[in-house]
Structure 1
């Protein structure tokens, strides 16, 4: 049995923006003639992938608004296999066809983003639009502030159009397309030339209009410098304010730390003073207790000058107690009185 990997061809239909049903068909040819269809691919003429569809022999393109159907234009790739490898040892085989949609002209995304264009006094300037148009537009007209510009035998204005590669968003992807550049040349610019210009394009499917604002390049530079100066001033002010805030924060934190340190020192000093007072009171109490104990153990009959001196000695040796001059005088008087009492007591008992 003879087997062959399939050769694949794809239909290349032409539609208009008014066609609701748009179909692309894949035609594989191989042996056996049972095929597996893989995903369809929609690509730009320059090979950029735009979108993919589930595989089948027939691809019906999704519904779309009339003014967006032109985006179905492009290359459609069918991928299929029948289980037989080709001479390159590949199972999957591909083929492609080109879908064309005739529609009104479209100003492409690389033009929509250039509403403002710039020129210089006393010099010439080219203002332009890029257009995708299948079929090609059959007329274009430039106007200034609503009044059509006459270019015939004009030294001031000149118009032109030429094929070029343009960029446009096709089903959400920016790709390259074959389009046109439409230009208005204005010579010897004066201040009054900085105004609005409109271009009108027409083909068999519709008419489209686009407006361009021509501005002075000098005023644009001045505006940029002014904006740059304002932005720079704002940024500088922000940096200065941030620095001041940081300095104040650090200063306040330092003052707080100092206050906390002083409070801690004061608390420690108070604690030490209380400890000293407690120790002094404990020593005093201990001395009084010792005196009371000594007095209770010394009877009146056995009390003598020696014992009294010991009591005073005990008082003097108590920790933390000092003897003042007045206390010393009282002690001496007490010693004398005690000696007299002792003599009298002996005389009585004698």
Structure 2
């Protein structure tokens, strides 16, 4: 009995456990499933008290709701499902499917149908009228969801994007979390979940997250700008609600504070003082945010050079200061004081130069000058070069030295003042100067010293440097002065020597005719060469017939005392003879022109005897007259006119003699003495005694001719041909023959205008001023006037050159 009771309890409990409680809403269609387990017919029972509803696939037609009931079966399948349409409270109760079989519990399946109800009043507590929930970034936010459950009781669920965040069978469900930036404006949904409806009700809100601002000035935290350009900074911020404050701050000292309150910060023409850190700060109700940017103002470097004189080397440093602080250096330049380039020197890449020591050059101040370097940080303003120069002047003192442009050989002219010129460099100044020529020493009082730029060769470059010029003035009185001179200079560092060889550089002196010996068809000339002027000279004899205009030349045999002959001459003919010397500088003056007649064929061989009988006494008389002239007895000389129709021609360096025997010579030296007196004292007027029977030349100033010439009397009929005198020369005619239409005249020829003294023509009695010569005036010359001699052949003046 007890066993049967336990078995009955077990079966009852099993049945209870097997009951399927189902909730459906009214008017829904309910289907209760049942599978056939054997070939036995399925039987459906239902309320009340398990009344039979159907057998197999047939519904009991006696049921009051049979029209709403049906068995759903598909041929060939094992399912016999009970379908209840328009479910209502009448259908609530217990249902059972009897499938048949050995074990009763396994053959029956129990269902309980109950009318269900929907939940109500689903609410999210924090939402506003716009269905928005507000939260703060990283602050805990609680979302409360409440509901009134239906039948059966269901669950509440929080979800985002169909992702369940929280789920619980309760009437109040709270979801707590800390909103993040990505949660801003996210949609959150609270829904009910039950057995009869997955989500019967749901409500969605949008989360608005209050966040502090986000600030960014630039992605690059360091910005560069050229000095002088305009700078604009923008504070790029974001805030999802109203700002409380926005301001700019500078993180460095500055004279003027920033008062910008807008997102833009403007700096016009920025300079290097504006470089530094700039901060933009933004505040809202949640918090404060800021960003900092560093502004670098780029500008070319300033460059200066320093010098370090160390024990083993000398170093120059090129110091650059600019932004950015990274530099490129070029080659160093070494220039003279006058900016002449001497050399380029390599840089070691860091702006340092080690001056090399070259043997012999340092002692000569060759390292003296400007040293310049160029540095660049690749910043260029106003399209200028990015390289900036810095320089340093290196003094480099030492003992004096003579520059390379000096000439060891210098030139002078005999009987003139000359200079020895020496250029040198000395830092510090010269303390002592001496000049040695042989055993004689000269001192500083005889020199002139001038500071000036001098030419020198420094490291194989010819440049101008600061130096001095020493000029030694000397009177070159004779040939012995052409020799070597040693100049010694001393400063506190030492002594330097320089030797100059003084050489002559002039035209040769005029040779001297010692004797002329005419023969029948030739003339023998004995002559002597004078000083050669410093160069090899050659002597030339010129001759021509008196009635012929052009000269003939013959070279002579050599210098010294020589005898040469002019051959092939015509007997009994007058010849003019003169000599000159020539070297590479030019020609000397001509000797006095000598007028010589070759011997006649009738002349006996005792010409020599005639020479000594006639000529020698004549020469003695001329000497006496010259002696009288020197004593001032001019009248005696004036009374002497040689012989009738005889001419005397004399110039300084040019002269001619003619007499009745054609072999006599007369140098008339007294005129040369007078000319020398004039040259030595320019205040002494020139006087000339004019004899109408003679031709004379006075110095190099005036000459005249009294050879009678016949001219028409222009007082009756004026006919004038005007011609410029030129070169201060002219002709004056005076009458010597009576008659209305014929005049004899004297030709007075003036050489180049004398600028040392005034010229007068004096009368023979008491030296009355007959003519006052004005060389600025012009006179007329007659068309048919001419000179007796057509000789215009004068040696080219020897051009004297100054040699340094």
TM-score by length of 2: 0.26
Partner of 2:354: 60
- Match among 414, 419, 440 for residue 121 of structure 1: 414
Runs of 4+ deviating beyond 4 Å: 224-228
Q: Secondary structure at 1:101's aligned position in 2?
A: coil
Q: Give the Å deviation of 1:121.
A: 2.1
Provide Cα deviations, 1:226-247, integer angstroms capped at 9, x if missing partner. 997xxxxxxxxxxxxxxxxxxx
Q: Secondary structure at 2:405's aligned position in 1?
A: helix
Q: Give the Å deviation of 1:116.
A: 1.5
Provide Cα deviations, 1:130-179, integer angstroms capped at 9, x if missing partner. 00111122111111114212576xxxxx2121112111111111110010
Take 1:147 and 1:221, find their aligned partners in 2: how far apart are those partners? 24
Take 2:489 and 2:367, find their aligned partners in 1: how far apart are those partners? 22
Partner of 2:535: 222
Cα–Cα, structure 1 residues 135 and 224, in superposed 2: closer, same or farther, change >3 Å?
Answer: farther
Partner of 1:173: 461
Question: 1:3·1:32 contact (CA, 8 Å) conserved in 2?
Answer: yes
Unaligned runs of 5+ in 2: 1-294, 507-531, 539-581, 585-804
- Match among 10, 29, 43 for residue 321 of structure 2: 29
Cα–Cα, structure 1 residues 12 and 151, in superposed 2: closer, same or farther, change >3 Å?
Answer: closer
Q: Give the Å deviation of 1:221.
A: 5.3
Q: Give the Å deviation of 1:11.
A: 2.2
Provide Cα deviations, 1:279-320, integer angstroms capped at 9, x if missing partner. xxxxxxxxxxxxxxxxxxxxxxxxxxxxxxxxxxxxxxxxxx
Provide Cα deviations, 1:80-126, integer angstroms capped at 9, x if missing partner. 11121133432211111111101111110111xx1121222221111
Take 2:432 and 2:345, find their aligned partners in 1: how far apart are those partners? 37
Provide Cα deviations, 1:48-85, integer angstroms capped at 9, x if missing partner. 22111223311101121155352111111111111211
Q: Secondary structure at 2:427's aligned position in 1?
A: coil
Partner of 1:193: 481
Question: 1:76·1:99 contact (CA, 8 Å) conserved in 2?
Answer: yes
Question: 1:24·1:59 contact (CA, 8 Å) conserved in 2?
Answer: yes
- Match among 25, 48, 51 for residue 340 of structure 2: 48
Unaligned runs of 5+ in 1: 153-157, 229-350
The RMSD of aligned alpha carbons is 2.6
Take 2:374 and 2:443, find their aligned partners in 1: how far apart are those partners? 54
Question: 2:423·2:467 contact (CA, 8 Å) conserved in 1?
Answer: yes
Provide Cα deviations, 1:308-347, integer angstroms capped at 9, x if missing partner. xxxxxxxxxxxxxxxxxxxxxxxxxxxxxxxxxxxxxxxx
Structure in which a larger fraction of residues adopt strand: 2
Provide Cα deviations, 1:187-243, integer angstroms capped at 9, x if missing partner. 252222222211100011110111111122234553387997xxxxxxxxxxxxxxx
Bigger relative contact order (CA 8 A; separation at least 6): 1
Take 2:372 and 2:476, find their aligned partners in 1: how far apart are those partners? 52
TM-score by length of 1: 0.57
Provide Cα deviations, 1:253-295, integer angstroms capped at 9, x if missing partner. xxxxxxxxxxxxxxxxxxxxxxxxxxxxxxxxxxxxxxxxxxx
Question: 2:433·2:443 contact (CA, 8 Å) conserved in 1?
Answer: no
Structure in which a larger fraction of residues adopt helix: 1
Question: 2:413·2:533 contact (CA, 8 Å) conserved in 1?
Answer: no
Partner of 1:83: 378
Larger Rg: 2
